[in-house]
Amino acid sequence: MTQMQNEVSSLKFQTGDGWTLAGDIHVGPKPRKAIIISAGTGYPKGFYRHAAGWFADQGAVVLTYDYRGIGDSAPKTLVGSEIDYPDWGLDLSAATDAIEQRFPDLPIAHIAHSAGGKFIGLMPNHAKIQRHAFLSVGTGYFGGHHRRNLPLEMYFWWGMGPYSLARHGYIKPIGGWRGQALPPKLFRTWRRWSHRRSYFQPELKTTLTSKFYNDVASPIRSWVFSDDPIATSKSAQDVVDCYPNAASELITVSPPELGLKHVGHDGAFRKGRTAIWEQVWQFLNS
């Protein structure tokens, strides 16, 4: 399909607890749908610009945004930051309100990458989103990942991570961590969850007090790529199971089926992944 020109503009919006977030709006010709793209852990909004531009060209308004503590939504320093993993559910909630306020007549859909699919149940306004497309969304539980990835994960959790906390006071992009800097409390929560198959579910009865996982009813389709060492069929199903009342479907795809040599954990959003995006667009409009 021939690419059309879409307009991109920056915006700031507020969360319910007063945090200012940064986002980019991609507006295509005659938009008929609003789409929010929620990032994986450590990925800045700019990483999703190729996918956002493509969906805008098809006739969408697309919002990419940085969670608090990440990219353009980060404070001056993360040392001593109290930002925690569940706070990103409030950020997704605020992004939903922000795009609704600017485009009130458009139905809202959600594309989630990795961690972006975990926090829908923390959104009090989750019902505003009509459909969720998950791309490489799985838990961080190491037992559900490919075994070849285990040494790297243990190094991250118990080697590089603790060193960076002790040396810098936060997770700095060093020693093999290629993502954005991470707040210290968020890292510890992520590590704690990733050491159990149930992930965050035990905390739904304790610390995760504002929760709507059983209330989410919008359909979910989750794409898993066979060469992704993290979002495997097992770990992806564990996330989908957190939304028991949402109609869901898990699809496993190999790169050759898409005409690709490699997809991995983040390849679904890299430039030129049209074969994947077309499937997502069809689902969001079905």
Confidence band for 1, pLDDT divided at 50, 70 and 90: very low
Task: Supply the DSSP symbol for 163.
Answer: H
Residue 270 has pLDDT above 50, yes or no: yes
Mean pLDDT of 82-99: 97
Task: Supply the DSSP symbol for 156.
Answer: I
Residue 3 has pLDDT above 80, yes or no: no
**Exposure of 250 in the CB half-sphere (CA atoms within 13 A):** 17
Confidence band for 4, pLDDT divided at 50, 70 and 90: low
Q: Could you tell me the pTM of the whole model?
A: 0.96
Do the beta carbons of residue 224 and residue 232 sit within 8 Å? yes
Report the pLDDT value the prediction gives residue 2, as an integer from 0 to 100.
44
| Residue ranges per structural domain of the chain | 7-284
pLDDT in tens, 105-142: 999 999 999 999 999 999 999 999 999 999 999 999 99
Residue 208 has pLDDT above 90, yes or no: no
Report the pLDDT value the prediction gives residue 210, as an integer from 0 to 100.
78
Task: Report the mean per-residue pLDDT for the chain.
Answer: 95
pLDDT in tens, 28-39: 889 999 999 999
Do the beta carbons of residue 190 and residue 41 sit within 8 Å? yes
Mean pLDDT of 231-237: 96
Q: Which CATH homologous superfamily contains domain 7-284?
A: Alpha/Beta hydrolase fold, catalytic domain (3.40.50.1820)
